[in-house]
Structure 1
Amino acid sequence: MTGQPRTGENGEAAVGGLVVSDLGDRVLARIDRPATRNAIDAALVDALHALCAELEREPRPLVLTGGEGIFASGADIRQLRERRRDDALRGINSAVFDRVAKLPMPTVAAVDGHALGGGAELAYACDFRVATTRARFGNPETGLGIMAAAGATWRLRELVGEPLAREILLAGRILDAPESLAAHLVTEVVQPEDLLPAADRLVDRILRNGGLAVRLTKLALRMPPGAHPAFDDVAQAVLFETEEKERRMTAFLERRRPAGGTS
């Protein structure tokens, strides 16, 4: 991490309102700005960029979470009020959320409580979202005289469909946990004490698969329609030459071989 990280127990590093734990085969990052209800400010954006740089160098799944009862309340309004045209054109939040979305390995947002505005857009940028029974997702930006410009206008439409996205973005609808599950915005709803275990179970399922196959499949999902099937053919050609493919397919065939068989 950049800046002057504060190192705590279990290898945690805290900087810019982000507490990062290296868990070996995965990384857990927790937004920790309780005084502002985990509002996303410039320091947190810098910390997220630094985290992305680490995961680009050493690809591993990421679990991103907040505090008890709050994921992230959105952009820091005090800073947002001072921003002008050139700040908007820099894409301060949209750039880092796009970087999160493009991380090589899958990402999981573990959401307890409110994920609003920029907080919701950060969750939308993750590959998966697991939530507690008290989770709430929404984009109230138009009520502040601005728009949700860090990915919601297109990521949310892809996730839940245009009619519901319009209701959230234009009419301020807030989705509770059951509604989010029904809309496939989240993959699972659990009790608050089971949130991180549920995220870990999902990561465990991902890690049971071939790492390079997961990375290339995630990349294929991001390709524009015109890139297919050529991209898929080239990616598959790479995978066909790996030891991992040989090992996994051999193990599969060995498991299927009848007892006493010779072939």
Structure 2
Amino acid sequence: MNFENILFEENNNIGYITINRPKKLNALNKATIEELNEAFESAREDHDIKVIILSGSGEKAFVAGADISEFAEFSQKEGRRLAAEGQEKLFDVVANFPKPVIAAINGFALGGGLELAMAAHFRIASNKAKMGLPEVSLGVIPGYGGTQRLPQLVGKGRAMEMIMTAGMIDAQQALDYQLVNHVTAPEDLIPLAEKIAGKIMNNSMVAISAAIRAVNANYEVGVNGFEVEIDGFGSSFGTEDFKEGTSAFLNKRKADFPGK
């Protein structure tokens, strides 16, 4: 599969999806969103891929925002469509992806870039990273889920301040805010993501997929997350992974999950 704006490869059961527009600081445009959608859908069907590491190419940016030149002249209707289609094709796809998605933030993650990172299941950052939602400085608001996911991660007050000031925070502050899970040196960012991915892959990927659904259900309006958890827990008893996991535990051996 050939892409113009992203890189996509698989190695040791990890899918590496990298936004690759370094001259544009990896800014998101419609073409890039389309390619990211294709890559995630391909990764969904690829049984060799168990975990996704999402990053940006170069040393300066994860994704430095949306490509403003693409929508500067949009009407209200076009703006609404831009947000709706972007959320449907990419941001909600990432948030609800059945395989773990780790965002490795290697530089600027601004606007749509931070929104993309927040859609991932969790984030790690280079100590050179900077994060923010500067949309109000352009006379618009975050449109790819930022007003919803940022408060969920850092709390309402901090989210309001970040959005209203349009300012950036550094990696240490993002860690203090619990916006990212870990901060490390730039050269250690991908190795750390791979180390975490390795720990994840020691476990049942079937169970992890069910856990993703259950955790996400807590943030869905009108959905009883406890019921989703109960259903997922019960369904686990019918999987081959459950049989293998319990057998391995009782026989004091390492589990070899079939992923079924």
TM-score (norm 1): 0.88
92-101 or 133-142, larger mean C-alpha shift: 92-101
Does residue 61 of the first structure (1) align with residue 51 of the second (2)?
A: yes
Q: CA deviation at 1:226?
A: 4.2
SS at structure 1 position matched to 2:18: strand
User: Tell me, which stretches of 5 or more residues in structure 2 are unaligned?
Assistant: 254-260
Structure index of larger Rg: 1
Aligned residues of 1:16 and 1:46 also touching (Cα < 8 A): no
1:29 is aligned to: 17
Question: Do residues 16 (structure 1) and 10 (structure 2) align?
Answer: no
Counterpart-to-counterpart distance in 2, 1:54 and 1:179: 35
Alpha-carbon distance change, 144 to 21 in structure 1, aligned in 2, over 3 angstroms: same
**Closer, same or farther: CA 248–103 of 1 in aligned 2, 3 Å:** same
Q: Secondary structure at the match of 2:103?
A: strand
Aligned pair partner of 1:77 in 62, 68, 71: 68
In the alignment, which residue of structure 1 is the partner of 2:188?
194
TM superposition shift of 1:24? 4.5
In structure 2, what is the equivalent of residue 260 of structure 1? none
| 2:241 alignment counterpart | 244
**135-144 or 19-28, larger mean C-alpha shift:** 19-28
1:74-110 Cα deviation digits (max 9, x unpaired) = 0001102132223222223322211111111110111
- Measured after TM superposition, the shift of residue 172 of structure 1 is 1.7
Query: What is the aligned counterpart of 1:86 among 77, 80, 89?
Result: 77
Letter in 2 for 1:203: A
* Alignment partners' CA distance in 1, 2:62 and 2:27: 9
Aligned residue number for residue 172 of structure 2: 178
Q: Distance in 2 between matches of 1:16 and 1:146?
A: 29
Measure the CA separation in 2 of the matches of 1:212 and 1:168.
Answer: 37
Q: Which stretch of structure 1 is more off in the superposition, 224-233 or 69-78?
A: 224-233
C-alpha distance in 2, partners of 1:34/1:215?
Answer: 33
Of residues 84-93 and 192-201 in structure 1, the stretch that sits farther from structure 2 once superposed is: 84-93
Structure 1: which amino acid aligns with 2:51?
A: P
Q: Is the 8 A contact 1:55 1:103 kept in 2?
A: no
Determine helix, strand or coil for the equivalent of 1:62.
strand
Deviation at 1:18, TM superposition (A): 0.4
Aligned partners of 1:232 and 1:93: how far apart in 2? Answer: 29
CA contact (8 A) 2:25 2:60 kept: no
Q: Secondary structure at the match of 2:53?
A: strand
The 1-side partners of 2:21 and 2:244 are apart by 46
2:128 alignment counterpart: 134
Equivalent position SS for 2:78: helix
Whole-Å separation in 1 of the counterparts to 2:231 and 2:21: 44
Which residue in 2 is equivalent to 1:213?
207
The 2-side partners of 1:243 and 1:94 are apart by: 34
| Structure 1 stretches of at least 4 aligned residues deviating more than 6 Å after TM superposition | none
Q: Indicate which of 33, 38, 47 corresponds to 2:26.
A: 38
The answer (yes or no) to whether the contact 2:71–2:79 under 8 Å persists in 1 is no
**Would the aligned equivalents of 2:215 and 2:225 in 1 still touch at CA under 8 Å?**
no
Percentage identity across aligned positions?
A: 32
> 1:116 & 1:229 partners in 2: Cα distance?
34
Deviation of 1:242 after TM superposition, in Å, equals 1.8
Normalising by structure 2, we get a TM-score of 0.89
1:204 shift after superposition: 1.1
Alpha carbons 1:19, 1:30 under 8 Å: kept = yes
Structure 1: tracts of 5 or more residues without a match: 6-14, 257-263
Distance 1:221 1:160 in 2: 17
